[in-house]
Amino acid sequence: MGHPTIYPTGVTVYNPEKAWSGFTILQAPDNGALLIGMNGHEVRMWKDLHGFPNKMFPGGMLMGSTGTRHPKHGLQDQLDLVQVDWDGNIVWKFDRAEFVEDPGSEGRWMARQHHDFQREGSSTGYYAPGQEPKIDSGNTLVLCHKNTINPYISDKMLVDDVIYEVTWDGDIVWEWNCADHVEEMGFTEAARNAMCRDPNFRGGTIMENAPGVGDWMHVNSMSTLGPNKWFDAGDARFHPDNIIIDGRETNIILILDKKTGKVVWQLGPDYDRTPEEKAIGWIIGQHHAHMIPRGLPGEGNILVYDNGGWGGYGNPNPGAPRGVKAAQRDYSRILEIDPVAMKIVWQYTPHEAGFLVPLDAYRFYSPFISSAQRLPNGNTLICEGSDGRVFEVTAEHEIVWEYICPYKGHISLPMNWVYRAYRLPYSWVPQAEVPEEKAIEPMSVKDFRVAGAAPFGAMSTVKVKGTIGYYSGAGHCVAATE
């Protein structure tokens, strides 16, 4: 499938009457944290502040990391997790999870943080009425890595996912290790056999930059549930302190009991066991599964970016001869799921985007990274991460804002990828003026031309053996007999 080599970047669509306007924070690949306005103007760039992800808090406070461990020794490990003020000064830092001595480097304390974190006061880290992350106190949940061996999974070294609860002073007061709970997750014998052979082993010819570890689960999102109607109605599975995570390599979404560490709710790893799972369909390689916070439309439902692509363990098949990454699909879905009825209540898929499934379903597709955020007016901000597209859709699936990232990675992937994006109210950034909001009408692809190119319909005529061929400047050739 072809893609254009030249395309517009920045904001290409903006309807101020229908969009929920504010600032948007994202990571400009390998450049830094970037704050933009609704018309795409760059408010501020915090150069070299890594975002895994970047989150903006009230008062112009920003979360991120000052660096990444050398990829030869660690898989996506961030050196630390920091909070900086508007001027870039570090006001909070966590790095004392593990003392690491990598060959050729001096030993140092490291967070090994990856993919997510949550500050007390906000269940998701994004704006919801009445929920603001604390900026000068409170505990922080941090998703990190820890190497381990678990024979139930594989005899190979694993890079496991661990959640720490960290005080404002940097002390770890609670810990949860993913591999300790694998027997609760319901993997089939076929899945366990595939996982034992290859627990998503990163090394050798697969990924030389992270040799010798099995990234078996690859948790990529983690947040508390927060206050919700299910718990208010007496369902203890949804205690506000409980934690929702998802595993990209296992196609699984889990809710963990904070007090016991046990799995109390799950979707996946298989989607053919119950009528409800079959109706939802296979969730593959997903990201950013979270419960929509109280005060937002759809509160209590689970919102997830179902990437598609490849993920899961199971029986070998033509697309996965070793049974690893056994499920595959070449398009993405945004799903809003009622976690009690276990049914989809809203979605954005290639069908809602106006594409033909399966002929051009790939046109809405990010096989890795990506996110979705519910906004106060009922719209959803979607980050189609692999091609750097962030856009806002209404409940009726109308695109009312769209941004294409102009930055490409120069250290990591040479793409204009965006890991996640968050919309935040102007009031959270008092240091910046509220910008003027100007509508940007969607461009007509039919009429859009690079300067100097012939306009559509400009034709020249040639005569060949009784046939008149009309060649248009748009590149179409139409033949007609004399």
Domain-located, residue 2: no
Residues 278 and 366 in one domain: yes
The percentage of residues in the chain with a pLDDT greater than 90, rounded to a whole number, is: 84
Give the helix/strand (H/E) hosting 35.
strand 32-36
Residues 6+ apart with CB under 8 A from 451: none
- Residue predicted with more confidence, 1 or 16: 16
Domain-located, residue 477: yes
The percentage of residues in the chain with a pLDDT greater than 70, rounded to a whole number, is: 92
Residues 302 and 280 in one domain: yes
SS (H, E, C) 415-479: CCCCCCEEEECHHHCCCCCCCCCCCECCCCCCCCCCCCCCCCCCEEEEEECCEEEEEECCCCEEE
Q: Quick check: 227 and 294 in contact, CB under 8 A?
A: yes
Domain-located, residue 246: yes
* pLDDT tens profile 358-384: 899 999 999 999 999 999 999 999 999
Residue 446: the pLDDT is 86
DSSP string over 125-175: SS-BTTB---SSS--EEEEEEEEE--TTT-SS-EEEEEEEEE-TTS-EEEE
Give the helix/strand (H/E) hosting 65.
strand 61-65
On the 0-12 / 13-18 / 19+ scale of CB atoms within 10 A, 168 is middle
Residues 66 and 118 in one domain: yes
Domain-located, residue 115: yes
Give the helix/strand (H/E) hosting 404.
strand 399-404
Looking at residues 166-181, what average pLDDT do you find? 98
Residues 461 and 400 in one domain: no
Q: Quick check: 140 and 94 in contact, CB under 8 A?
A: yes
Q: How many domains does the chain have?
A: 2
Residues 23 and 54 in one domain: yes
Q: Where in the sequence is the domain holding 375, given as residue range(s)?
A: 10-443
Give the Cα separation of 413 and 386 in Å (integer). 10
* pLDDT tens profile 461-481: 444 343 333 323 333 333 333
SS (H, E, C) 363-392: HCCCCCCCEEEECCCCCEEEEEHHHCEEEE
- Residue predicted with more confidence, 458 or 310: 310
Residue 370: the pLDDT is 98
* pLDDT tens profile 423-447: 999 999 999 999 999 999 998 888 8
Residue 480: the pLDDT is 33
Residue 476: the pLDDT is 33
For 68-82, 136-150, 297-311, 446-460, which range has the lowest pLDDT when averaged over its residues?
A: 446-460
Confidence of residue 202 (pLDDT cuts 50, 70, 90): confident
Residues 317 and 355 in one domain: yes
Does residue 263 register a pLDDT over 90? yes
Does residue 138 register a pLDDT over 70? yes
Residues 216 and 96 in one domain: yes
Domain-located, residue 4: no
Give the Cα separation of 125 and 123 in Å (integer). 6
Amino acid sitting at position 49: L
Looking at residues 293-320, what average pLDDT do you find? 98
Looking at residues 260-271, what average pLDDT do you find? 98
Residues 370 and 460 in one domain: no
Residues 438 and 463 in one domain: no
For 103-117, 266-280, 441-455, which range has the lowest pLDDT when averaged over its residues?
A: 441-455
Domain-located, residue 33: yes
Domain-located, residue 5: no
Residues 60 and 185 in one domain: yes
Residues 56 and 113 in one domain: yes
* pLDDT tens profile 395-405: 999 999 999 99
Does residue 459 register a pLDDT over 70? no
Does residue 120 register a pLDDT over 80? yes
Question: Which residue bears the tokens 């050196």?
Answer: 79
Domain-located, residue 344: yes
Residues 399 and 479 in one domain: no
| CATH code for the domain in which residue 337 is found | 2.120.10.30
Residue 304: the pLDDT is 99
Give the Cα separation of 297 and 307 in Å (integer). 23
Vertex 126, ends 333 and 13: CA angle to 5°? 60
Q: Quick check: 312 and 284 in contact, CB under 8 A?
A: yes
